[in-house]
Amino acid sequence: MVAVQRTVDAAEASVRDAYKDDYLLLTAVAAGIEAARRGIERALDALAEREPRSAPVAMAMGRFRARRGDLDAAAVAFGRAVDLDDESPHAWHTLGEALAELGRTEPARDALRRAIALGLDADLRARAYAALGRVHARAGEWPAAARAQEKALELNADDRLVALDYGRTLARLSARGGGTGF
């Protein structure tokens, strides 16, 4: 019995040592990534200070902050981009997406509708319609969600996620007795 316990203890120690090296390596990589993020943020802040009227800089700051998970700061940056270039469908789209993630339904709808109205690019309009469909769905507005998702699919029939959302929306409508005539 003692020999079995020694074997088990030796195996556990071996596994701990193997994972210890991986843990140390991953910790070092994570520290490097965090340092790079801080460097990028400092560089973006410096660029924004040098170019305060640049919508592309505001967009870059918004994207960086959104990826970092700071949606409030991202929405502020995207709002700044819209203020600087209110004819940019990309700025309106990213603002709408950020506001939707923050649960600010009405301003998100307004921003996404503006992106759709300004967008000449079918792919951008498809993404904006898809986002608008998600906003309507979160609000329980199933007919409006279905209309937006259908338009997104008309513009990009290959988007499987929108097709899945559309199918779910139609199922909700059917379950409510609303059929599919929206």
pLDDT digits over 98-122, tens only?
999 999 999 999 999 999 999 889 9
C-alpha triplet 79, 80, 84: angle, nearest 5°: 120
pLDDT of residue 19: 74
Phi, psi of 44 (to 5 degrees): -65, -40
Hey, where are the domains in the chain? 55-111, 121-182
CATH number of 55-111: 1.25.40.10
Rama region for 70: left / alpha / beta (φ>0; ψ in -120 to 50; rest): beta
Show the tokens assigned to 79: 């709002």
Give the position of tokens 């994207």: 63
What does the chain come to in residues?
Answer: 182
Q: CA 94 to CA 2: how far, in whole Å?
A: 64
Rg of the chain over all Cα atoms, to the nearest angstrom: 24
For residues 159-175, give the mean pLDDT. 94
Model confidence pLDDT, tens digit, residues 125-157: 999 999 999 999 999 999 999 999 999 999 999
Q: CA 162 to CA 127: how far, in whole Å?
A: 9
Give the position of tokens 């986002």: 131
pTM above 0.95, yes or no: no
Residues 6+ apart with CB under 8 A from 132: 96, 109, 112, 113, 116, 148
